[in-house]
Structure 1
């Protein structure tokens, strides 16, 4: 099972990525929530180029990625869950939930620490909000996130299957809740009891600071309620709210690949 996971990890993640991406892209094409300010071709070509660059860098610097670290942890018996001898089913559940909470707090810190915000604002500077926004992150943020994740896996003793499930869930959730769709109100109200919905996370991309400093969750919606960072709806409504950062409006600076990579280093 372990060798199968390591061998097929890339294909499983790619399959999930393209499957969810295609579904959300078609959905927001047929029933968009908000009109886009720019053509898909202009933003998508650059956002997806950044995704490809990030994936390439991760594969070069971390060939076995997070799942490979988890396999090593299992073999060596490192981490709290292994030391306590927690059964696989329970340890998988605990690991997925704990890693999701870790991503929540990591997200909070990337907003609160100026040096980290310089990297994270690449994600927030997107002038539109759609499925590609969910994968638009600066390479240095991706690398830091991977290092934090690996450290957590070692300390926790997360099983490889849990790490794979978490990686797929996180990636799929990011594309889902960044997509330019709007669930029916009753459906949204039910789904966001458990998972972060597009309407819930869109609030986080508002230009109003109070709204930006809320709804940090990516997958499970419970963390924002538990840690008092939950905002139900934007003040201006989903059609009236302003997306992005008010000080960054020039498309060539925030939407081009070159602009996104250099953005954290510009005054």
Structure 2
């Protein structure tokens, strides 16, 4: 089975990757419409339009710089550089498991944490947090500047892990799908959500990260695996009925629901989050 997985992701067609993005949004869009966690009073299409714009810019940036990802993967493979080689992980299952764990740690958890803790980077990541109606489209709400920042961390993850191209595409596919899953405005049975959160980031777990004020905003940074938040002490819980989405510095609709303003937020006067 693992050989088939490797062969598939080694040469995964672009159409399949696009289908995963579109199919994931469609699937969770339908689920959250039928079983919403919160019954928002908003124009879902207007909200989605803003987030789809940022989805498009992210795709454009990733496509334009994709050759750097490919070159990085080829470099580590040809030079046997990275954790996979240093730990002599010849077994493909071990490569997949260890590789995914550390790709997630570096490319998602660390990238996310650094953006919250570094003022210049937070200015770009802030756009993701300004969303006051968290649903599956929010997963792709990233300022073009943040897309570049995340791209750099992804290359760093490839180099440190020593990820062959199939492992990168497997990681990217899981990352996209699970980000749509944990942002989706859908109501899962509480026990099921809790059990899921022991292994991967569940919807209820990630929603806490989108609470509008500290310290909850600075918690639950994970994207695929929940282990890193639990291990590094950034895991928090709170009742979902107490959630207020957004970020306390940008709670006005003209700030958080206006595309023109969202694009220039990184260049506006800095506003410190409140405790």
Q: Distance in 2 between matches of 1:171 and 1:63?
A: 16
Shift of 1:184: 0.3
Q: Distance in 1 between matches of 2:232 and 2:83?
A: 25
Moved more, 172-181 or 154-163: 154-163
- Cα 1:57–1:247 change in 2 (3 A) is same
Moved more, 112-121 or 248-257: 248-257
- Cα 1:3–1:191 change in 2 (3 A) is closer
Q: Distance in 2 between matches of 1:65 and 1:34?
A: 40
- Cα 1:259–1:230 change in 2 (3 A) is same
Is residue 35 of structure 1 aligned with residue 39 of structure 2? yes
> Could you list the per-position Cα deviations for residues 68-90 of structure 1 after superposition, in whole angstroms to 9, with x for gaps in the alignment?
53244324433342355421332
TM normalised by structure 2 equals 0.88
Moved more, 105-114 or 11-20: 11-20
> Could you list the per-position Cα deviations for residues 34-93 of structure 1 after superposition, in whole angstroms to 9, with x for gaps in the alignment?
122421111101110111122112212x13363553244324433342355421332222
Shift of 1:257: 2.8
Aligned residue in 2 for 1:263: 265
Aligned counterpart for 1:217 among listed residues 197, 201, 222: 222
- Cα 1:189–1:158 change in 2 (3 A) is same
Is residue 82 of structure 1 aligned with residue 85 of structure 2? yes
Aligned residue in 1 for 2:76: 73
Residue aligned with 1:99, SS: helix
Shift of 1:239: 3.1
Q: Distance in 2 between matches of 1:36 and 1:248?
A: 19
TM normalised by structure 1 equals 0.90
| Contact 1:92/1:161, CA 8 A, preserved across alignment | no
- Cα 1:68–1:25 change in 2 (3 A) is farther
Q: Distance in 2 between matches of 1:217 and 1:84?
A: 25
> Could you list the per-position Cα deviations for residues 126-157 of structure 1 after superposition, in whole angstroms to 9, with x for gaps in the alignment?
12110011110111111111112112212321
Residue aligned with 1:56, SS: helix
Q: Distance in 1 between matches of 2:99 and 2:162?
A: 8
Q: Distance in 2 between matches of 1:144 and 1:223?
A: 20
How many aligned residue pairs are there? Answer: 263
For structure 2, list consecutive stretches of 5 or more residues without a partner in the other structure: 270-275
Q: CA RMSD in A?
A: 2.1
- Cα 1:219–1:63 change in 2 (3 A) is closer
